[in-house]
């Protein structure tokens, strides 16, 4: 039994394909197409393909969870920026200050003169 999200589960001898949903199709509980043996059309899962693979015991087939989370964050930020809901310039400045404040290698950069994040 594999959890697909939002109370959906798949029970099959074989899940033979996972496809990340991209573009305008993605969102509102639509993250991955799941092809299951014996079902002609793919099921739509609200979970990412990497999460589903991990649940199936296929950890070696997926990238580190941090990379998956970073990619998901990048996609959400890009969509929010296109809709005018986030200022990427301000976010970039704040991220650089945060990184400078938390890494020892950047202590010689001029970014530490910036005011702290609030």
Is a pLDDT exceeding 70 seen at residue 110?
no
> What is the Cα–Cα distance from 77 to 31, expressed in whole angstroms?
16
Digit-coded pLDDT (tens) for 36-79: 888 889 988 888 877 777 777 776 666 566 666 777 788 888 88
Identify whether residues 55 and 93 lie together within a single domain: no
Mean pLDDT confidence for 90-114 = 66
Q: Which residues in the chain belong to E strands, given as ranges?
A: 2-5, 8-10, 15-20, 32-36, 43-45
Q: How far apart are CA 84 and CA 78, in angstroms?
A: 10
Count CB-CB contacts under 10 A for residue 2: 18
Are 13 and 64 part of one and the same domain? yes
Q: Are residues 51 and 95 in the same domain?
A: no
pTM value is: 0.47
- 6 and 51 co-located in one domain: yes
- Is the C-alpha dihedral spanning 65, 105, 103, 115 positive or negative? negative
- Do 81 and 110 reside in the same domain of the chain? no
Nearest to 100 by CA among 84, 87, 117: 117
State how many domains the chain has.
2
Q: Write out the residue range of the structural domain in which residue 118 sits.
A: 87-118
63 and 102, same structural domain?
no
| Domain co-membership, 81 together with 98 | no
């Amino acid at each position: 039994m594999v959890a697909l999200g939002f109370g959906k589960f798949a029970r099959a001898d074989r899940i033979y394909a996972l496809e990340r949903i991209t573009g305008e199709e993605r969102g509102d509980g639509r993250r991955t197409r799941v092809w299951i043996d014996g079902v002609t059309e793919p099921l739509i899962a609200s979970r990412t393909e990497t999460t589903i693979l991990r649940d199936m015991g296929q950890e070696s087939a997926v990238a580190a969870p941090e990379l998956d989370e970073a990619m998901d964050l990048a996609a959400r930020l890009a969509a929010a920026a296109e809709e005018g809901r986030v200022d990427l310039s301000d976010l970039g400045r704040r991220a650089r200050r945060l990184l400078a404040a938390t890494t020892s290698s950047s202590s010689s950069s001029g970014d530490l003169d910036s005011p702290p994040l609030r």
